[in-house]
Structure 1
Amino acid sequence: MVAPTVSTPDAVVIGMGPAGEEVAGRLADAGWDVVGIDERLVGGECPYWGCIPSKIMVRAGNLVGEAHRVPGSAGISRVQTDWRPVVRHVRGATDDWDDKVAVDRFTTRGGRFLRGSARLTGPNEVCVAADDDSGRETVLRPRRALVLAAGTRPAAPPVPGLAGTPYWTNRELVEAERLPGSLLVLGGGAIGLELGQAVQRFGCQVTVVEAQSRLLSREEPEAAELLMRVLTTEGLEIHTGAELVSVGYDGERFTASCRRGERLVAERLLVSAGRRADLERLGASTLGVPADARALPVDERMRVLGAPGVWAVGDITGKGAFTHMAMYQADVAVRGILGRGGRAAEYHAVPRVTFTDPEVGAVGLTEAQARTVGLPVRTAVADLAAGSRGFVHGAGSDGFVKLVAAGGVLVGATAAGPTGGEVLGLLTLAVQARVPLEELRSTVWAYPTFHRAVGEALTRI
């Protein structure tokens, strides 16, 4: 048995996704001896299987959708879809799932990179098993900081029969060189709807199964109603309130059976039922974290509670599985580790966007969440097209703005429409800065723009 190599760097960062790479790189820039560890690709989910490649697919699907809107508005059009250019663009953007550029980006800043599986073996000790068959292990004992940024993995619900099938997650779909003729999507959240709509527009028949009573169950019900109407019009088959009781695979087709009687069949099955942090595999119990915890508990400076010298950033903290959240937390952590102070983390204005067509952008609390915490809620909804007549019309201009106010400021907002994610920017600022409603009402909104719907909603709240 090969004796482990022991090293005592200044800092160890487990997980080199967006947050981990940012922390490790900036500490290296500060002159620290930093070791970054990941068993997969440096850069994490976002550039290889998440944000970037999925948006290439979504953008391609949107082009197809827009071309279908030409008749009745600008003449005639004929659309013949081809998935091969999408595959080429995805492979180019991901460097064909090769992270050499990302690894070099980190090491040229002075960091050291280890590829392997990392596990906490003590309050201030990490054991890294090499990702080859050598049996080599490296023991790291950071002298100044340990940063946990191990992220999350796709979660599969405990449906009988599912585990034994070759189901897809977003990773397999993003890597697919050809689309199946039919796809069953388990989960009506952002990932399932974004990818489902995109591949439907390229000729794959998509069926969405959601156990909750509506799509996007964490967002406003108006958003669910809008997407249900748009997606079913495009040909997606959607089943909400559908609890699966079994999944089978005969070598050619998946069969999913629902408790209320539906029997759904497709060539492929995409599981998009959320993500989870594998804290047990990480060895988080050495920090006193309960075995059944879903996330690492952190304070406003990203320090893991009860674990001096340990920080956590990104999905693993349970504050939102978004790249922008990971980068925000990374900045807070770096400033804290280096003793530079600055503002602590706040989460009252976290933006999120579902990149369907139309997009659903939201920030802060929904109406239901605001009422649950006892706020004196006032709401208003305005049709998105009301402030943009003459600019767009017909299919492709559906949408709305919903504002949630309490105490004279916005505590939440939703912008659903062709540019919902962009309209969200001004709403995020308003919620973050707690801009008084009277100040917002005095704003002059350019006409004709989708932003004018914000001004229209403000007159009703």
Structure 2
Amino acid sequence: MTETESIAYDVVVLGAGPVGENVADRTRAAGLSTAVVESELVGGECSYWACMPSKALLRPVIARADARRLPGLSQAVQGPLDAAAVLARRDEYTSHWHDDGQVRWLDGIGADLYRGHGRLAGPRTVTVTGPDGVSRTLTVRHAVAVCTGTGARLPDLPGLAEVRPWTSREATSAEHVPGRLIVVGGGVVATEMATAYQALGSQVTVLVRGKGLLARMEPFAGELVAEALTEAGAEIRTGTSVESVARENGTVVAVTGAGDRIESDEILFATGRAPRTDDIGLETVGMEPGSWLPVDDTLRVEGSDWLYACGDVNHRALLTHQGKYQARIAGDAIGARAKGEPLQEPAPWGPHAATADHHAVPQVVFTDPEASAVGLSLAEAEQAGHRVRAVDVEFSSVAGAGLYGEGYRGRARMVVDVDERILRGVTFVGPGVGELIHSATVAVAGQVPVDRLWHAVPSYPTISEVWLRLLEAYRG
């Protein structure tokens, strides 16, 4: 390994995914010299193996499902999806796994890109070992931001390595559609990929250790998604663990805790995420390699005055949009501190504190039906000690839902704090509800009084009229 001279920067960002890019954008806007280190593709997990390719796979699935609900159109879309065309469009959406456009964007904001593996080498120091074996030392005046994200966490199962299981990466970048697919897990990745591959032609079996799908959302969300997957032909087994796996003559065999043998062509494990911090030099600054990085609301790592952690790696909210939100706040806080400016008070709307992480995190699950939620579920609100009331309505009561076609099934819930008369959480399940969630996010983040929501008049006939039905149900 060859070593070169050290180079000084105001800020060094580890990881050039959407989170790292946003940190760099804000620190450059503050006039700080910024280096970004990336060991794979600029654009990160979201652009190439998560958000973008998964939604490219799912969009034709959802569009066909919507069309099949409409008389006059349904007969035109009864055939199978063209799987090869769907995969080809997915490839276009990921720029064929080339990051030239993202690199040009970094160049455009004036950030320096270092390709290679970046590691902390003590306080305010980063070493980068490039593909050519040359090691460069970057010294840092103000901040290092760790934005390395997470990777799939695989269980410790006999035979797993030999099986070569799919994780979310393989599922979103696959070059073929397997005839049979086992999906292990019941969360977002599991339900979205089960939805996609069942529609693309796989026979899907979902194995869930718990009682149902989407356990972190309101129970009815997982129930409605499970019903739709089952009707589409997927098999869902709840309360089922996988004890061992093997590949026999090219066929995957999974053995469950009940002793059942399930055969498949591929097996996808969607069983959680682990932080990518095992080899970034945390031990050189007194921290445990492989650990999550706890932070304060300015995204500064607890106990440090120069180390920041944004996105999945801090374990606050494992969502791209939430990581980008954190990155913008961290970049602005770094810029203010570098200039010796006081941080604005966060109570609760200041620009230097990620307060939404605590009470207004939105999410959309792109299944059919879609499931979207923001804030606390009923159970979470009660566990947090709030006095709350859940208000539920069916979308069948909403005129705009009928325009989506026959057989629209969906439900909405708002969780109302009965003392403060604000919303603690909102959940929508049904076709098209992903586009509703930002209105709920504004209501929850802005702590809009329920009485004031009466004066936010929904347009007729749209599915946003569900807000009126919820308020009417609340009033009784």
| Counterpart for residue 106 of structure 2 | 106
Residues 390 and 27 (structure 1), Cα distance of their counterparts in 2 relative to 1, 3 Å cut = closer
**Is residue 64–residue 201 contact of structure 1 (8 Å, CA) maintained in 2?**
no
What RMSD over aligned residues (CA atoms) do the two structures have, in Å? 2.0
CA separation in 1, counterparts of 2:126 and 2:77? 59
What does 1:191-230 align with in structure 2 at a 5 Å threshold? 191-230=189-228
- What TM-score, normalized to structure 1? 0.94
| Counterpart for residue 345 of structure 1 | 354
| Counterpart for residue 333 of structure 1 | 330
Aligned partner of residue 281 in structure 1, secondary structure: coil
CA separation in 2, counterparts of 1:52 and 1:330? 19
| Range moving further from structure 2, 438-447 or 206-215 | 438-447
2:415 counterpart of 1:418 = no
What's the % identity of the aligned pairs? 36
CA separation in 2, counterparts of 1:415 and 1:80? 29
CA separation in 1, counterparts of 2:456 and 2:333? 37
What does 1:284-363 align with in structure 2 at a 5 Å threshold? 284-291=282-289, 293=291, 295-339=292-336, 341=343, 342-343=350-351, 344-346=353-355, 347=357, 348-363=359-374
CA separation in 1, counterparts of 2:373 and 2:137? 43
Aligned partner of residue 9 in structure 2, secondary structure: coil
Picking from 378, 393, 396, the partner of 1:367 is 378
| Counterpart for residue 440 of structure 1 | 453
| Ranges in structure 1 where 5+ consecutive residues have no aligned partner | none
| Range moving further from structure 2, 19-28 or 7-16 | 19-28
Could you report, residue by residue, the CA deviation over 1:248-284 in whole angstroms, capped at 9, with x for unpaired residues? 1124111111112332111011121121103232222
CA separation in 1, counterparts of 2:85 and 2:102? 25
2:105 counterpart of 1:96 = no
CA separation in 2, counterparts of 1:440 and 1:323? 29
**Is residue 287–residue 306 contact of structure 1 (8 Å, CA) maintained in 2?**
no
Post-superposition shift, 1:292? 6.7
Could you report, residue by residue, the CA deviation over 1:288-307 in whole angstroms, capped at 9, with x for unpaired residues? 434573x2111111111111
Residues 370 and 331 (structure 1), Cα distance of their counterparts in 2 relative to 1, 3 Å cut = same
Picking from 428, 431, 442, the partner of 2:441 is 428
Amino acid at match of 1:164: E
2:467 counterpart of 1:454 = yes
What does 1:46-125 align with in structure 2 at a 5 Å threshold? 46-70=46-70, 77-125=77-125
Post-superposition shift, 1:354? 0.5
Post-superposition shift, 1:404? 0.9
Count of residues in correspondence between the two structures:
457
What does 1:368-407 align with in structure 2 at a 5 Å threshold? 368-388=379-399, 390-395=402-407, 397-406=408-417, 407=419
2:223 counterpart of 1:232 = no
Residues 265 and 5 (structure 1), Cα distance of their counterparts in 2 relative to 1, 3 Å cut = farther
Aligned partner of residue 473 in structure 2, secondary structure: coil
Amino acid at match of 1:148: V
Amino acid at match of 1:66: D
CA separation in 2, counterparts of 1:250 and 1:5? 53
Amino acid at match of 1:398: R
Aligned partner of residue 460 in structure 1, secondary structure: helix
**Is residue 16–residue 36 contact of structure 2 (8 Å, CA) maintained in 1?**
yes
CA separation in 1, counterparts of 2:42 and 2:17? 6
| Counterpart for residue 276 of structure 1 | 274
CA separation in 2, counterparts of 1:331 and 1:78? 45
Residues 387 and 144 (structure 1), Cα distance of their counterparts in 2 relative to 1, 3 Å cut = same
2:38 counterpart of 1:41 = no
Post-superposition shift, 1:42? 0.6
**Superposed structure 1 runs of 4+ greater than 4 Å apart:** 70-77
**Is residue 281–residue 289 contact of structure 2 (8 Å, CA) maintained in 1?**
no
Post-superposition shift, 1:442? 4.5
Could you report, residue by residue, the CA deviation over 1:232-257 in whole angstroms, capped at 9, with x for unpaired residues? 01111111111111111124111111
| Counterpart for residue 159 of structure 1 | 157
Residues 289 and 370 (structure 1), Cα distance of their counterparts in 2 relative to 1, 3 Å cut = farther
CA separation in 2, counterparts of 1:316 and 1:390? 42
**Is residue 385–residue 453 contact of structure 1 (8 Å, CA) maintained in 2?**
no
Aligned partner of residue 201 in structure 1, secondary structure: helix
- What TM-score, normalized to structure 2? 0.91
Residues 29 and 260 (structure 1), Cα distance of their counterparts in 2 relative to 1, 3 Å cut = same
**Is residue 361–residue 416 contact of structure 1 (8 Å, CA) maintained in 2?**
yes
Post-superposition shift, 1:412? 0.6
Post-superposition shift, 1:68? 3.8
* The structure with more helix, counted as a fraction of residues: 2
CA separation in 1, counterparts of 2:172 and 2:24? 28
